[in-house]
Structure 1
Amino acid sequence: MTLAAPALDCGYHRAGLCDSCTRIDVPYADQLARKDAAARAAVPGATWLPPQASAVEAFRNKAKMVAGGTIDAPTLGILDGERRGVDLRRCPLHEQPIRDALPVLAELVRDARVPPYSVPERRGELKHVLVTSSPDGELMVRFVLRSTEAVPRIAKRLAWLRERIPGLVVASASILPEHRAVVEGDVEVPLTHEQTLVMRLNGVPLALRPGGFFQTNTAVAAALYREATAWIDDVDPASVADLYCGVGGFALHAARPGRDVVGVETSAEAIAGAIETAAATATPARFVVGDATAADDTTVDADLVVVNPPRRGIGALAVRLEASRARHVVYSSCNPTTLARDLQAMPSLRPVRARMFDMFPHNDHAEVLVLLERVSDR
């Protein structure tokens, strides 16, 4: 009997250096079926479309690399059980421009004499290197540092870095002085004049700035926005509120002349990017900084509300949507468990259509898009 081949042959996984991809040994078709079944169980009653598959490698547009090792032999990857660095700079999940850039960035760390942060000893400067790749092959690089001490040495080598990484557009330092299990700090120090990376999806040039959220899988994100836009246009609402809007992906795709579109997001950097895109493309949408769960009643009462929350779901906002005048809700969830909980709090909003989007192959995470329709007027 011949067993089906693993989804992806990864040398790091075979060597026992990384077990982040918990389903990598499972054939991809089986991975997709498992996720689709879990999503369908969370949203009964909807008409389900076939799942949106992903490429099995080179699909991640961002790398969140933990710095480890020493100045002379830095590692970019993860930490092992003893909190020491494991180098994964050739991880096959990352898009090729990221794979090409990581060895150069490791060389910069060494040449600029930036000591990697040691978690056990709580000393050192460089905590993470964050790299994002655009559909046009351009890059944003962020150095997460404990202080600004190493910033001048990195800035001094910026011309060299751009020569070695021609696609580098945005570089900055994120300052994280505390010993915390987070990826970035609250203070951003620009290293390049340009601080916007254009993520061009479906012809919409979304403006991503340091600290702004963007979906990890560009191709699947583009499919997600296309699907949501088609559903929104089908019901043709006069007003749309995009809550947890990030850089405005759903709102900017849904905007039409004569349709009132507003996006709400806590991140000022993300909202600045959304405003930049709307202005550059003359898109009739407006964006405000604010807590989506505390959005004003006028916003929640839009004809159609889009919610794209973090894994914890929308919580109390579900109760407000249930009591609102919204005729439709488009819910994009990265956690079917909290999605199911939130749907139970909105019994007047019936699931009509649903689809699973595989943003993260080789594990059990899935993005689920659901169109809800109010079943009765009140």
Structure 2
Amino acid sequence: MTTRYRKREDNRNHRTATGQTVTLTITGFDDEGFGTTSHEGKKVLVAGALPGETVSIRVTHNGPRTMFGEAITILSPSPDRMASPSCTTSACSNCPLISMNYGAQLTLKRSLVEKEIRSFASLRAVPIDDVISSPRPLQYRNSAKLVVAGTFKSPIIGIYRRNSHNVVDISACPLHNPLINRVVAAAKEGIRKGKVPVYNPRTDTGILRYLVVRVSEHTGRAMAVFVTAQRSYNEIHHLAKFVRQAVPELDVAVQNVNTSEGNVILAPHDHFLTKDHAIIEELAGIRFSISPRSFFQVNSGSARIIYEKVREWSALTGNEKVVDLYCGIGGISLFLAPGAQEVHGIEYVDAAVADAERNARLNGIRNCSFEAGDAAELLEELVEEGTEPDVVIFNPPRKGCDRRVLEAAVNSGPGRMIYVSCSPATLARDLDILAGLGYQTREIQPVDMFPQTPHIENVALLVDARHARDDHGKTTSPQGRQHFTHKRRGASA
């Protein structure tokens, strides 16, 4: 046996096994909330540990390149660790920063943003502002999508533990609006008293699968969606009646039947158990009708901050045409409408556009139009029809924008663009693409939408660096806009 082979065999024999406990010092933090370090030549990700801490960890998985573990004992705590965190349910691990003091969280999140932005040469000089804190670091979530597990005698309502299918009960979650927790507590009691069969995915038996709760902070009213594996009207009707009696603020009760085997929570059709079908939320004077499947930011206070920042950077004078890409239920569009000449919202999801149109009517706003379809195609068609935007807003999902959407926005020639993003990585990627297409990022404002987690929203301001512009952002060069040559769908040649 050669010396090299013996060393390789010795290393394999001493390899840390899953379930083993080791002591490590945490050197960093990643964007998923894991403390990071290294051991045996591998990257180690530790749930529940903060940078600078020496911790005893239990190894939960040892892969070829990465080892996962959970903190068991904090041997040398970080000065940023709180002596009495707001939650001690370590099994949840979905709020990995909850043991860190809030000021340190904001500093950490800014560093995560800066890391992604500065990875591109085109963005290394872009100013990144300090993170604007959430008005509420706790009790900020206005909605919760929860799994129902266990049995009717002992129901569990909570979320999946990270990287598992084990459900952790979070019926008293400190991040939830207190009204959500009251609805959850009443639902558990109603399940027990009504002997409602809880769905078991392993045996495909039972009825109740999920509980979705939404709250209007402005009105203090709530909605509960009982997601079931079958229609089963009687059990759910009585459960909803029990919860409404226990929580009088519950105005909307819905049964959603989901027979699929996947992880999608809500199926397309709702069966309303109450006369009211929506709750009303209000942000800075704009009202929103929230239905069971409407998208609305989970943190109303931080959403208002983001909308106000977008309005500030739009610099509207009443004469501008605005295009809001990925407009959802019209939040930003309706916020900008009073200061704009016209606003065009574009969204891929038909139901969201229906909500946006309903919200425009609810607020008596008549200078907004909404259309469902491909963002790039619809923007190109608007330009062909003579709508050349002065401001383009991006508010895409976490994956960011397709390059074709970015190119269509650039070719429409706005004086400024504003990009709202929930992913620093895809934001940096897209800002770099836009820099290559002639739009310079002037400033990035992080906003804490998700306290106690590593996630962070950002608002970025971009201006057209290709052409001279007047005081209102209008192109003064005749080559300022690149017009499209393709035909509108269905148009004749």
TM-score normalised by the chain length of structure 2:
0.71
Alignment of 1:107-146 (within 5 A): 107-135=189-217, 136-146=219-229
1:131-182 deviation per Cα after TM superposition (whole angstroms, max 9, x unaligned): 1111121111111222212x33222454443222121122212222111122
Q: Aligned residue for 2:394?
A: 307
Matched to 2:412, the amino acid is S
Alignment counterpart, residue 52 of structure 1, candidates 114, 129, 132:
132
Output the CA distance in 1 between the equivalents of 2:146 and 2:429: 33
| Alignment: residue pair count | 375
1:296-334 deviation per Cα after TM superposition (whole angstroms, max 9, x unaligned): 414474221111111100123123223332222111000
Matched to 1:288, the amino acid is E
Question: Is 1:9 aligned to residue 76 of structure 2?
Answer: no
Matched to 1:30, the amino acid is A
Asked whether the equivalents of residues 236 and 255 of structure 2 are also in contact (C-alpha less than 8 Å), the reply is: no
SS at match of 1:295: helix
Matched to 2:296, the amino acid is F
Output the CA distance in 2 between the equivalents of 1:2 and 1:83: 31
Asked whether the equivalents of residues 225 and 292 of structure 2 are also in contact (C-alpha less than 8 Å), the reply is: yes
SS at match of 2:315: helix
SS at match of 1:129: strand
Output the CA distance in 1 between the equivalents of 2:274 and 2:380: 41
Alignment of 1:1-378 (within 5 A): 3-6=79-82, 9-13=85-89, 16-41=90-115, 42=117, 44-54=124-134, 55-80=136-161, 83-135=165-217, 136-149=219-232, 151-234=233-316, 238-256=320-338, 259-283=341-365, 284-299=367-382, 301-316=388-403, 317-347=405-435, 348-377=438-467, 378=480
Shift of 1:225: 0.8
Q: Mark the CA change 1:244 to 1:28 in structure 2 (over 3 Å): closer, same or farther.
A: same
Output the CA distance in 2 between the equivalents of 1:192 and 1:4: 47
Shift of 1:121: 3.1
Q: Mark the CA change 1:152 to 1:2 in structure 2 (over 3 Å): closer, same or farther.
A: closer
Output the CA distance in 2 between the equivalents of 1:189 and 1:12: 37
Output the CA distance in 2 between the equivalents of 1:99 and 1:181: 23
Output the CA distance in 1 between the equivalents of 2:373 and 2:192: 41
Asked whether the equivalents of residues 68 and 86 of structure 1 are also in contact (C-alpha less than 8 Å), the reply is: no
Output the CA distance in 1 between the equivalents of 2:305 and 2:84: 23
Output the CA distance in 2 between the equivalents of 1:167 and 1:183: 24
Matched to 1:351, the amino acid is T
Moved more, 213-222 or 347-356: 347-356
Output the CA distance in 1 between the equivalents of 2:151 and 2:320: 58
Question: Where do 5+ consecutive residues of structure 1 fail to align?
Answer: none
Higher relative contact order (CA 8 A, sep 6+): 1
Q: Mark the CA change 1:340 to 1:20 in structure 2 (over 3 Å): closer, same or farther.
A: same
SS at match of 1:346: helix
Output the CA distance in 1 between the equivalents of 2:316 and 2:368: 19
Between the aligned residues of both structures, percent identity stands at 28
Asked whether the equivalents of residues 317 and 340 of structure 2 are also in contact (C-alpha less than 8 Å), the reply is: no
SS at match of 2:312: helix
Shift of 1:8: 6.7
Output the CA distance in 2 between the equivalents of 1:122 and 1:328: 53
Shift of 1:234: 4.9
1:243-276 deviation per Cα after TM superposition (whole angstroms, max 9, x unaligned): 1111111000000266111212233332222222
Computing the radius of gyration from Cα coordinates, the structure with the larger value is 2
Output the CA distance in 1 between the equivalents of 2:104 and 2:440: 29
RMSD: 2.3
Shift of 1:24: 2.0
Asked whether the equivalents of residues 196 and 273 of structure 1 are also in contact (C-alpha less than 8 Å), the reply is: no
Shift of 1:340: 1.0
Asked whether the equivalents of residues 293 and 314 of structure 1 are also in contact (C-alpha less than 8 Å), the reply is: no
Asked whether the equivalents of residues 319 and 340 of structure 2 are also in contact (C-alpha less than 8 Å), the reply is: no
1:316-358 deviation per Cα after TM superposition (whole angstroms, max 9, x unaligned): 3123223332222111000010111111221211112221011
Shift of 1:48: 3.6
Output the CA distance in 2 between the equivalents of 1:217 and 1:355: 17
